A and B are shown apart, each in its own frame.
Chain A
């Protein structure tokens, strides 16, 4: 079945360093890859996404890269700050749509990022 694996499960970096989180997916037809940030006790919030026709996308300190051949995509956070501390989830859509329409997101198991002063 469809699967998204996410590594590492925990990541600790010093403020100002870069953080990289990696995900692999199993469905070669997957075509949409969002990343969500979830602060403690809060809802998941979309921070960046990428589609299969693009190899890289950047938004200020955050970037996502996609390697379709290898079926993996990564989140890069540069110049990390304490407020970046949160759980980050990757996700991927199925190549085929859900019955009746819409798209199912398969989520990774999350990475707890801690930015230390």
Chain B
């Protein structure tokens, strides 16, 4: 039982490049979330999913897209990376109620 895993762990992109971050969970959770963490700002919700095939916007969705084709996977895409997207990205999953389990994070640097 690996819990929540994320790949890659670290990535450097040039402005304008694209990439996909993968989140996988083996707890059969319905709900999955993508957050970004920036210094002094806590964790902010980018997008979330309430089940396979569903996605919805969080509080900072601009510049990101997501897909949940399989229940266990939640993908976060950056179509054209910008320096403002330099951050640490955390995925989380949960079953009702609200307790969220976080993945180990992906550190992204956009030059």
Q: Are A99 and B42 in contact (CB under 8 A)?
A: no
Q: Are B99 and A43 in contact (CB under 8 A)?
A: no
- Chain B interface, DSSP helix/strand/loop, else mixed: loop
> What count of chain A residues pass the 8 Å CB interface test?
25
> What count of chain B residues pass the 8 Å CB interface test?
25
Which of A6, A42, A93, A101 has a CB less than 8 Å from the CB of B31? A101
Q: Report the separation of the CA atoms of residues A9 and B42 in the bound assembly, to the nearest whole angstrom.
A: 11
Q: Report the separation of the CA atoms of residues A36 and B30 in the bound assembly, to the nearest whole angstrom.
A: 21
Q: Report the separation of the CA atoms of residues A6 and B41 in the bound assembly, to the nearest whole angstrom.
A: 11
Q: Report the separation of the CA atoms of residues A32 and B36 in the bound assembly, to the nearest whole angstrom.
A: 21
- Shortest B6–chain A CB gap in Å is 9
- Chain A interface, DSSP helix/strand/loop, else mixed: loop
Q: Are A44 and B43 in contact (CB under 8 A)?
A: yes
Q: Are A43 and B90 in contact (CB under 8 A)?
A: yes
Nearest residue, chain B, Cβ from A101: B50
Which 9 pairs, one residue from A and one from B, show the smallest C-beta to C-beta distance?
A: A107-B42, A100-B50, A43-B102, A103-B98, A102-B31, A101-B50, A107-B43, A109-B42, A32-B98
20 contacts across the A-B interface (CB closer than 8 A): A9-B40, A34-B98, A34-B100, A36-B102, A46-B100, A46-B101, A49-B99, A89-B42, A99-B56, A100-B50, A100-B54, A100-B56, A101-B31, A101-B50, A104-B45, A105-B98, A105-B100, A108-B42, A109-B41, A110-B42
